[in-house]
Amino acid sequence: MMFASGIWVLAALFVCAASTKEAGNSYEMKVWRTNDRSLQEPLALVYTEIENLYHQQSLMKENMKKAMMHCTQTQAYKENGANVTSLQAGSGPVLYPFAQDEDSEAEARFDPCYHYTVLDQAWRATNFSTKNVACDKRVNWRGWYRLFYRGRSIQMPELCIKKERCGTHAPLWLAGGHPSLCDGIVTRRVCGHWNNNCCAFKSPPIKVKACKGNYYVYQFVQPKACHLAYCADVNTLVCGWCRKNEICSSRDKINWFCKKTKSRAKAKVHFFASYPGRLSGKVNRIQYKKVYVNVGRAFNRRTGVFTAPVAGVYQFFFSTQSGTNGAKTDLWLVVNGYWVAVSHTRISSSNSVGNLSTYMTTLRKGALVYITHNCGNSWANAASNTITFGGSLLLERR
């Protein structure tokens, strides 16, 4: 797609340059003859440029894929294909997330978020004490676990738990807090409270991962001593009710609540600018001096360059009004150095004609967009707004 338009763009470029000499030419693509020596050099340039385009495109694709894998991949989960076993049978209803995206199924195959053992043992709760203390050293831990409390998703505590809770003597809590979705698998210290020392037992660190759907999986390992046991914090039961666009949060690590994720706040980007005068011939970058709208301040009035402040889908428009001498006039939209769309005018009589072009594309953060006046004459005065450039962010991508 981009490959093909690249050829067109560059071929059109040469036609534009050629026809300024021969005013009678129609706006058509020329057929290259390889035995035409004068064309060999520019042709080589064209091919190099096309290769660059192609390279840049595959890079962009790769980056997008990477970003999706880390943070924005939709949940993939098939109940039938799940490798979920339960330590405690008949422990009540357990809800699993369901598949939304077939493609990510393969990626999910080795993801602990979908391959864990359900650990639903009410005695692990932070509000539970008993004389029959448990010892996790005696458990043959294997792989990943997800904590439940009577069928409801629950998390490990992130702060010191009183002695003789969690059905054991020295309750094990997660030091350093839980990771976020983008962190992937992290290693966290585990502490056991005893003798007024919150970390009297420095238990071997465990791996933890945050999963879509507001739950965590833990790769539990054997503590070094008895009696220690991994805790389930009853205060985090509320986290199981958080919605898709929410995360579970707590300032004091005691009271937990669901809150909307920050990224919901959409970036607003809109600009509209105009050049209040005449342009003729080659003007590398039109410096649209009159800026009417610049929400998000992504358009630079001094340079005429728009810099994408966030990754997302953008729409641009730009216009011209041809001069009256009948010459061909071409304005090009330039995205990251590539000429992607033209606003072309041509009329044989001594009339003037306008042209407005639009373009929509996905940009990464920091992408540069401007307009180049490649040839011909464009007309505007201080009030006509005939040479304009504007755009909007339609959809933000994370």
Residues that bind ligand NAG (CB under 6 A): 83, 125, 127-128, 143, 234, 237, 342-346, 353, 355
List all residues 6 or more positions away from 364 whose beta carbon is below 8 Å from its beta carbon. 60, 63, 308, 311
Angle at the Cα of 227 from the Cα atoms of 223 and 228, rounded to 5 degrees: 45
Measure the CA–CA gap between 398 and 395, rounded to whole angstroms: 10
* Min dist. Cβ of residue 41 to ligand NAG (A): 27
* Min dist. Cβ of residue 13 to ligand NAG (A): 13
* Min dist. Cβ of residue 16 to ligand NAG (A): 11
Residue 143 or 366 with smaller CB distance to ligand NAG: 143
* Min dist. Cβ of residue 334 to ligand NAG (A): 15
Residue 300 or 374 with smaller CB distance to ligand NAG: 374
Measure the CA–CA gap between 381 and 107, rounded to whole angstroms: 57
Residue nearest to ligand NAG (CB): 344
Residue 34 or 349 with smaller CB distance to ligand NAG: 349
Residue 300 or 355 with smaller CB distance to ligand NAG: 355
Residue 237 or 286 with smaller CB distance to ligand NAG: 237
Measure the CA–CA gap between 285 and 300, rounded to whole angstroms: 12
Asked if residues 20 and 330 have their Cβ atoms less than 8 Å apart, the reply is no
Which two tokens mark 3? 């490959």
355 phi and psi, to 5 degrees?
A: -150, 135
* Min dist. Cβ of residue 115 to ligand NAG (A): 6
Distance of CA 199 to the CA centre of its chain: 39
> For residue 160, how many other CB atoms are within 10 A of its CB?
16
If you search the block for the tokens 């590539």, which residue do you land on? 338
Comparing C-alpha atoms, which of 203, 209, 150, 128 is closest to residue 173? 203
Asked if residues 210 and 181 have their Cβ atoms less than 8 Å apart, the reply is yes
* Min dist. Cβ of residue 357 to ligand NAG (A): 6
Residue 175 or 234 with smaller CB distance to ligand NAG: 234
